[in-house]
Amino acid sequence: MKTNQRSQATRPETHEGAGARIINPTQQLERTLNACLLFEKTFYEDGESVADRLYNCVEAVEPVIAGRLAIRARNKLYLRHAPLLVVVAMADSPKHSFLVEDILGGWGTPGTEGYTRGVIARPDELGEFLLLYWLYGKQLTGNEKRPISACIKRGLAKAIKQFDAYQLGKWKGSSKTAITLRDVLRLVHPTPDTPEQAGWFKGLVDGTLEAPDTWEVALSAGADKAATFIRLMREDKLPAMAFLMNLRNMVEAGVSGMAISEYCDTLRFARVLPTRFITAEKFAPSVSDALDRAMMRVFEESAKLPGKTIILVDVSDSMNAALSEKGFGTIRAAAHETSRMDAACGLAIHAREVCEEARVFTFSNDLVEVPNRRGFGLRDAIVSSQPHGMTAMGDAVKAINKAGAYDRLIIITDEQNRDTLPNPNQGTKGYVLNVSSEKNGVGYHPWTNITGYSPHVIKFAMAHEGVTQGARIKEVEQTDDAPRIV
C-alpha cells in the first residue's frame, strides 16, 4: 500500500488531473519550446516558470539535439525568443558551449551554397539575444552585464555577416531593443568578408548607413498614412506579413476596402500561418472575403493525406487564453489578439485542406460534429459548436473510437484534460497537436505528439506518413531547408 501511495504521488498529472505520460528530456524540451512565447503566461502556468523550465531542460539534452531543436523552432516554427534562450542555456553549459558559435551564426558562409542559418534570422535579434544573456546572468550570478564569452562573440560576429545593407539599414536602430546593431558591432568586432561589407559596418558605427524605403520607415516619417499605404501597395513594397500586420492601421487610416482586397489578391502567402489570417480578420472584417481567398491559396498545390481523417478540436475554456499578454523584445502586438483557440482553428483549417476525406469534431463537455466547411467558415463552426467548459478529451476519443472506422485521428489541444486518454483504434494513426507549453501532457506513445502551431506542424505529420508536398510548397521548402547538424 505504501509503495502504491508513493507511485501515485510521483505520477505526473495534467493541470486538470488526468494522468500524464512520463516523457524523456528531449520530449520535455520540445514540449516547452515549440509553442513558447517567452515570458508569456499560459492558462495554467506563469511565463517565468515556463522560461526557467526551458532553460533548465537544455542541460539534460545532448548538445546536438538541443541545437537542432532551437534552429528548428526559429526557422520552421517561427518562434523568435524562446530559441534564443535555449542558446543562452547552451552557452552557460560546459557540455553545450562548443556548439554555440554555429547555433548562433549558422554553418558555412552566408550567400553561398550549403549555408544553413542559425537562430538569428533578423538583425534586431542580435541585441535581443544579448538582453537575454545578461538577464539570465543577473539571475544566476548577480552580474548585470557579465562578460560575453568567446563562443558567443564568434557566433554573433558570424550572424551579423549574413545580413545585407538593406537589412542592416532597416534594423540599425530599432527602438524596441536597448541594444542597437552599432552596440553589437562594438561588442563582438566582426571581421568583414568584403570591402562592401566593411562599408556597411562603418556606416553603422558612424551613423551614415541609409535606411531603406520600407513600410516602417515610410510610416514613421510622418506622412499621410492612407497615402503612404496606397503608395506602398502600388509600388509593391508591402510584403505579405507586413500587409497582415498593418490591416488595422490601413482600415483606421481610411484606405478603401476595395484597394486592400485588390492588393491582397496579388500577394503570395506561402509561409504565413492560418492563425495569422484569423487574427488579421479580427482587425479588418471588411476584407474577410479577400483574406479567406488568400488563406485558401496557400493550400492549392498541397499533397493530401489519404483515407479517412477525424479532426478533433479542443474548445474548452483554457483554449480561450491569449498567446501573449505583455510580450518580450519585439513580440508583435497581434499576439495579444490571438488565442490558443485561434491557433487550434488555424491548424484545423490546414488539416482539413490536406486530408482527402475529413470530418471535424469539437470537444469540451460534449462531443459535437461541425459542418463540413472551409476557411473562416470552419473557424466559425468550431468556435460556436458548444459552450467552452471542461476538457473531456478521453470521453470524446472513446466516442470517436466506437463510432466507426478511420485511418487517422488528429487531436488539436493544450492536452490539459480531466480524464484518461485512450489509445487510437488499433491499426490507425493518432496525432496530438499540442498548442501550449504546459509541463505535462497525455499525447505520447502510442500517440505521435507534435507541439507548435506553425504550418510545419501539419507538414511534420505528413512527413511522418511519407507524404511529400506539392510542387509549389516543395519549392518554398527548398529555400528554407531543415537545419543540418552533423
Tell me if the domain spanning 305-478 has CATH number 1.20.1070.10.
no
- DSSP symbol at 64: H
Helix axes 82-91, 124-141, angle to 10 degrees: 50
> 169: how many CB neighbours lie within 10 A of its CB?
21
pLDDT tens-digit map of 395-430: 999 999 999 899 999 999 999 999 999 999 999 999
The pLDDT of residue 3: 40
- For residue 107, what is the DSSP state? B
Which amino acid would we find at residue 21?
R
pLDDT band at 234 (very low <50, low <70, confident <90, very high): very high
* CA–CA distance, 73 with 148 (Å, rounded to integer): 24
- Residue 343 to residue 313: CA distance in whole angstroms: 11
**346 and 446 Cβ atoms separated by less than 8 Å:** no
The whole-number pLDDT of residue 470 equals 43
Between CA 101 and CA 69 the distance in angstroms is: 15
The residue assigned the cell 542558446 is 87
* pLDDT tens for each residue of 307-335: 999 999 999 999 998 887 654 333 344 44
Q: Are the C-beta atoms of residues 33 and 54 closer than 8 Å to each other?
A: yes
Taking the C-alpha atoms of residue 75 and residue 72, their distance in angstroms, rounded to an integer, is: 5
Backbone region of residue 375 per phi and psi (left: phi > 0; alpha: psi in -120 to 50; beta: other values): left
For the chain, the domains span 35-76+81-120+124-162+173-206, 215-297, 305-478
Question: From CA 240, how far away is CA 49, in angstroms rounded?
Answer: 35
Band (pLDDT 50/70/90 cuts) for residue 114 is: confident
- Residue 471's pLDDT is what? 31
Burial 12-45 (b: 16+ CB within 10 A, else e): eebbbebbbbebeebbbbbbbbbbbbbbbbbbbb
User: Does residue 197 surpass a pLDDT of 90?
Assistant: yes
Whether the CB-CB separation of 484 and 107 falls below 8 Å is answered with yes
**Mean of pLDDT values over 24-53:** 90
Specify the pLDDT at position 455. Answer: 77
- Residue entry with cell 496606397: 230
Laid out side by side, the sheet with 408-413 consists of 367-369, 355-363, 305-314, 408-413, 429-434, 448-451
Element (H, E) at 347: helix 340-353
Q: What is the pLDDT of residue 469?
A: 52
d(CA 172, CA 203): 10
pLDDT given for residue 349 in this prediction: 95
Cβ atoms < 10 Å from Cβ of 307: 16
Bridge partners, 300 (sequence order): none
320 neighbors 340 (Cβ within 8 angstroms) = yes
pLDDT in tens, 142-179: 667 889 999 999 999 999 999 999 889 888 875 555 78
The answer to which of 104-108, 131-135, 177-181, 331-335 has the lowest mean pLDDT is: 331-335
- The reported pLDDT for the residue numbered 472 is 31
